């Protein structure tokens, strides 16, 4: 384990200095979060609170307890009490979500924020079930109301309304308003539940979907009528809704030099206003709020439209949208193709003015013939260049332009862009780079005390580039040109850019721009009305709905066409439906026959989308030219990613052999792996990998699984064996950046970070001194890549060819995976052998002049009738003749100098062998040695 003491010292100094600043400016005191529920049932409800300013922090749960505060503060419910200094660290702004259990339910599906006054001792804030408002005093007129109210009201079909309330209702007090006119004559019947807190209203005639509806009731405890806008949630999947509102035309800001036409899909809205700004930065962040407003006109299919004369290139825009009684202001257009600082305003762009010189020549030449020719390398923008050993231009660290800076070296070894070109990959997959402005404050980009790192899996504006990687995040045009420079430079190096996309959820839920425009349409919901949380982040998008599918397809096609991307990796792809993925694949392949489309064939939680419709494992065979990550072989090689101590084949668990063979054969039904549950079905659809950005790096996983069995000295050899199995498998190999020289994500306390999504650069960055330190590992890794690129038989494109030419040999030898791959066109045969045993073996070979292409543990270059295979070694041999699997024996022999293997259970073991006594001293290797 690489200990970096100086990092820890700097971290500690920074922590102490920040803490001292807070302490100097903060008064001792507490924050009281008063919470009121109408049913008085607070079981499992708590307040999830996190620090937001001056620095962001991790969230934690705070229990609600009996409220024993004086009457002047007591709300009649429960209270969570937080200490300003010890728990909130002197924060000036905190975020809060009131939730039930471990995210089973949120009271309000939105992040809410409270500004604290450091000069005050105690502060009280008030929350009521289902109410967005936050009160700052017991009787705050702008705070939440404890009066009886409607909780929900929804059209379940065009003649039925379902509703729930906090208190009992009486049928004769229920009123329905259609565009502010009472519908008393249209009510056919009212059914109430036994407790009279829910019911169903049946209408005599179908509603007009182009109008708005309000349900009201006069409760006994309230002098004013309680009102609620009746949502159309129950109609979104209906034929009636699709017939009236499904739209196939362009949306967004449609630019021309003489005018720009704005179109937004807002079918249930009664009014939409366009705001046009010169600045993409609000006044609160140093910009301007000066704007021109334009009334938009409602047209067919739920479209609001307006055309503004003049050349608007470079200007910014938002919408004010009225839904029922609520006006949502300054909403960013979901179709906005660039944005200003923190994604707060959309941008109008003439993309012809954003192209670097030579852009028309980009992506005109394919770099692969078959999908199996691809080698994918996964990278985060910041990771490549933030460490001091990168040795590039300071201004480019962590930025787009850092990805393409040439001439950088560490002690004579290439770093950064030159290193990637040196590897021999075909596709660079970049972690999400569409705008996730709510996860990172771009205004603090140059603040050395601010953590600007985030993986980016909480999308805000799907069609705009994240500003955190730009030299100027305030100007939405700069980032467009920078990304195009990156695409162009890699294309000239024979490498295509793949985009990691996250369409399965939105970073925000109820307060997402989608939901503020069309409430309830873009997400899935459970039967209780809560957001379905198959993503594990609070919501999931409803890709099966017409306009959600349209948005996903439109968005991906925009990225593919405008930025000339080489592929797309879909996060949690099983949350998308099969029809959406197949429609998308068809259009992308029409644009580029060589494009790569692949994703994670699982969800992040329980989804309301039926498994039969999910683009997950059970349906990969039904997807058209869409691939999926192979977690079977991943875990078969190194052990489960969810149990750090658990090993796989390379650490000695030989029961996983068939899982490894599944990846080697390209995810097809293979004669030598009969009976295996095949779910890819084609080598062009399987992404073989041993590690990715999620979970531990391979180095860290191996360390954690080898240390308990005293085998740390084998770590480098086992790493090469794991990568060797992946890079000689049929299908598409995938590499996590830095694994070629044993990348680690070590924390200051010496532990490893398995989920570094918002850990600082010091944890996530690639340290180029590793390339020097582990040069032998790197050279052998690179050699395996070279062999793959040189040998077409490692990249076969059809099931038939694989079954004809790939066969396993030495099949009865425990702890060994070995296979031959024939190339009849070249009259050659490759032999691959992985000896995962802790003992040496000798393998008898068919007679001939064998060339040892790779020996990861020794220096063999040739072989004839046999080859000695050292423990944990990985070998690739070649011969100029076509051999058959029947030419090989089924087992190997243990080498004569082997000792009886010993299972080491303690620091020092003494083992008696036969008549003699031999002492074996196994000294546990210390971390850092």
Active site residues: 571, 600
- Residues 470/478, Cβ–Cβ less than 8 Å: yes
Which one, of 557, 423, 428, lies nearest residue 491 by Cα? 428
- What are the Cα distances from residue 758, in Å, to 56, 266, 453, 753, 754? 10, 35, 6, 11, 11
Q: Is 706 exposed, middle or buried (0-12, 13-18, 19+ CB in 10 A)?
A: buried
In order of 25, 179, 448, 451, the CA distances from 93 in angstroms are 14, 40, 20, 17
* Residue among 50, 121, 61, 35 at smallest CA distance from 91: 50
Question: Concatenated DSSP letters for 160-204?
Answer: EEEEEESS---GGG-EEEETTEE-GGGEEEEEE-TTSSEEEEEES
Alpha-carbon distance values, 445 to 209, 341, 454, 894 (Å) = 46, 11, 12, 59
Contact indicator for 486, 497 with CB cutoff of 8 Å: yes
Cβ–Cβ under 8 Å, residues 878 and 828: yes
Name every residue whose Cβ is closer than 8 Å to that of residue 623 and which is 6 or more positions away in sequence. 578, 581, 582, 585, 615, 685
The count of other CB atoms within 10 Å of the CB of residue 852 is: 17
Radius of gyration of the chain from its Cα atoms, rounded to whole angstroms: 31
Q: Are 763 and 350 in contact (CB under 8 A)?
A: no
Q: Which residues pair with 843 in a beta bridge?
A: 867
Report d(CA 190, CA 188) in Å as an integer.
7
How far is the C-alpha of 592 from the C-alpha of 559, rounded, in Å?
13
Q: What are phi and psi of 782, to 5 degrees?
A: -60, -35
**Best CA proximity match to 765, nearest among 788, 744, 780:** 744
Whether the CA torsion 624, 629, 635, 637 is positive or negative: it is positive
Closest to 503 (Cα-Cα) out of 453, 557, 454, 450:
557
Residue 284 vs residues 344, 443, 511: alpha-carbon distances, Å: 12, 11, 20
Q: Which residue has the tokens 């097809």?
A: 668
Question: Is 273 within 8 Å of 295 (Cβ atoms)?
Answer: yes
Q: Give the whole-angstrom CA distance, residue 618 versus residue 628.
A: 11
Integer Cα distance of 228 and 279 in angstroms = 37
Burial of 252 (0-12, 13-18, 19+ CB in 10 A): buried
CA distances from 61 to 58, 101, 103, 508 (A): 10, 10, 11, 20
346 has which bridge partners?
A: 317, 339
3-class secondary structure, 553: helix
DSSP letter string, 785-846: HHHHHH-GGGG--SHHHHHHHEEE-STT-TTEEEEEEEETTTTEEEEEEEE-SSS-EEEE--
Contacts of 480 (CB under 8 A, 6+ apart): 338, 349, 351, 354, 465
């Amino acid at each position: 384990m690489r200990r970096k003491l100086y990092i820890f010292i700097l971290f500690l100094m920074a922590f102490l200095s920040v803490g001292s600043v807070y302490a100097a400016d903060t008064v001792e005191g507490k924050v009281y979060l008063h919470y009121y529920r109408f049913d008085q049932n607070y079981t499992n409800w708590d307040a999830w609170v996190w620090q937001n300013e001056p620095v962001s922090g991790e969230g934690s749960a705070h229990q609600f307890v009996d409220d024993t505060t004086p009457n002047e503060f007591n709300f009649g419910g429960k209270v969570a009490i937080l200490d300003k200094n010890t728990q909130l660290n002197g924060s000036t702004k905190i975020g809060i979500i009131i939730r039930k259990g471990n995210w089973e339910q949120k009271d309000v599906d939105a992040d809410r924020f409270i500004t604290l006054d450091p000069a005050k001792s105690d502060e009280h804030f008030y929350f009521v079930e289902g109410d967005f408002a936050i009160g700052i005093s017991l009787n705050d007129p702008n705070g939440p109301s404890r009066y009886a109210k409607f909780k929900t009201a929804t059209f379940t079909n065009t003649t039925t309304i379902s509703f729930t309330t906090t208190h009992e209702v009486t049928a004769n007090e229920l009123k329905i308003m259609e565009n502010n006119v009472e519908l008393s004559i249209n009510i056919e019947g009212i059914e109430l539940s036994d407790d009279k807190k829910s019911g169903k209203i049946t209408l005599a005639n179908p509603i007009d979907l182009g109008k708005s509806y309000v349900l009201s009731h006069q409760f006994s405890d309230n002098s004013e009528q309680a009102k609620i806008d009746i949502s159309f949630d129950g109609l979104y999947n209906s034929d009636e809704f699709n017939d009236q509102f499904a739209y196939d035309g362009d949306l967004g800001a449609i630019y021309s030099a003489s005018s720009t036409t704005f179109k937004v899909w807002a079918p249930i809205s009664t009014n939409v206003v366009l705001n046009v700004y010169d600045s993409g930065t609000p006044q609160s962040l140093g910009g301007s709020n000066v704007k021109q407003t334009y009334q938009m006109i409602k047209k067919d299919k739920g479209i609001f439209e307006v055309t503004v004369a003049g050349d608007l290139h470079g200007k910014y825009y938002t919408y004010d949208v009225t839904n029922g009684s609520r006006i949502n202001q300054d909403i960013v257009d979901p179709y906005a193709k660039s944005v200003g600082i923190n994604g707060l305003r959309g941008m109008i762009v003439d993309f012809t003015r954003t192209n670097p010189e030579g852009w028309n020549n980009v992506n005109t030449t394919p770099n692969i013939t078959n999908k199996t020719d691809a080698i994918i390398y996964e990278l985060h923008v910041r990771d490549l260049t933030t460490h001091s050993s990168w040795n590039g231009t300071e201004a480019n660290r962590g930025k787009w332009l850092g990805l393409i800076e040439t001439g950088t070296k560490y002690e004579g070894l290439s770093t950064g862009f030159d290193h990637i070109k040196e590897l021999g990959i075909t596709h660079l997959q970049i972690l999400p780079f569409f705008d996730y402005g709510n996860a990172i404050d771009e205004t603090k980009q140059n603040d050395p005390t601010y953590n600007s790192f985030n993986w980016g899996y909480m999308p805000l504006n799907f069609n705009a580039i994240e500003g955190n990687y730009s030299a100027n995040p305030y100007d939405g045009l700069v980032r467009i040109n920078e990304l195009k420079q990156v695409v162009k430079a890699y294309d000239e190096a024979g490498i295509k850019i793949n985009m990691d996309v996250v369409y399965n959820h939105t970073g925000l839920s109820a307060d997402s721009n989608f939901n503020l425009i069309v409430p309830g349409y873009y997400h899935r919901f459970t039967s209780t009305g809560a957001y379905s949380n198959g993503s594990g982040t609070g919501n999931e998008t409803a890709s099966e709905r017409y306009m959600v599918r349209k948005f996903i397809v439109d968005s991906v096609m925009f990225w593919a066409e405008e930025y000339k991307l080489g592929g797309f990796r879909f996060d949690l792809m099983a949350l998308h439906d099969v029809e959406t993925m197949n429609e998308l694949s068809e259009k992308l392949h029409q644009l580029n026959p060589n494009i790569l489309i692949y994703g994670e064939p699982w969800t992040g939680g329980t989804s309301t989308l039926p498994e039969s419709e999910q683009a997950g494992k059970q349906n990969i065979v039904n997807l058209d030219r869409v691939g999926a990550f192979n977690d079977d072989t991943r875990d078969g090689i190194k052990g489960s990613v969810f149990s750090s101590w658990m090993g796989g084949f390379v650490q000695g668990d030989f029961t996983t052999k068939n899982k490894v063979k599944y990846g080697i054969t390209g995810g097809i039904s293979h004669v030598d792996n009969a009976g295996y549950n095949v779910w890819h079905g084609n080598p062009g659809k399987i992404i073989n990998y041993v590690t990715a950005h999620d979970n531990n790096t391979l180095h860290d996983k191996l360390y954690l699984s080898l240390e308990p069995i005293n085998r740390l000295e084998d770590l480098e050899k086992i790493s090469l064996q794991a990568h060797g199995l992946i890079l000689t498998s049929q299908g598409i190999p995938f590499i996590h950046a830095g694994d070629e020289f044993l990348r680690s994500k070590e924390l200051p306390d010496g532990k490893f970070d398995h989920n570094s999504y918002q850990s600082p650069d010091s944890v996530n960055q690639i340290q180029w001194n590793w390339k020097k330190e582990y040069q032998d590992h790197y050279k052998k890794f690179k050699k395996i890549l070279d062999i793959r690129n040189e040998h077409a038989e490692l990249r076969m494109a059809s099931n038939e060819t694989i079954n004809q030419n790939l066969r396993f040999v030495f099949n009865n030898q425990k702890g060994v995976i070995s296979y031959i791959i024939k190339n009849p066109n070249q009259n050659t045969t490759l032999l691959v052998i992985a000896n995962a045993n802790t003992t040496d073996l000798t393998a008898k070979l068919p007679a001939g002049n064998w060339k040892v292409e790779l020996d990861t543990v020794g220096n063999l270059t040739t072989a004839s009738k046999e080859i000695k295979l050292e423990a944990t070694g990985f070998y690739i041999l070649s011969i100029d003749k076509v051999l058959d699997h029947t030419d090989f024996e089924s087992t190997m022999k243990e080498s004569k100098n082997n000792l009886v293997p010993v299972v080491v259970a303690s620091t020092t073991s003494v083992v008696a062998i036969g008549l003699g006594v031999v002492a074996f001293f196994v000294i546990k290797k210390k971390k850092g040695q």
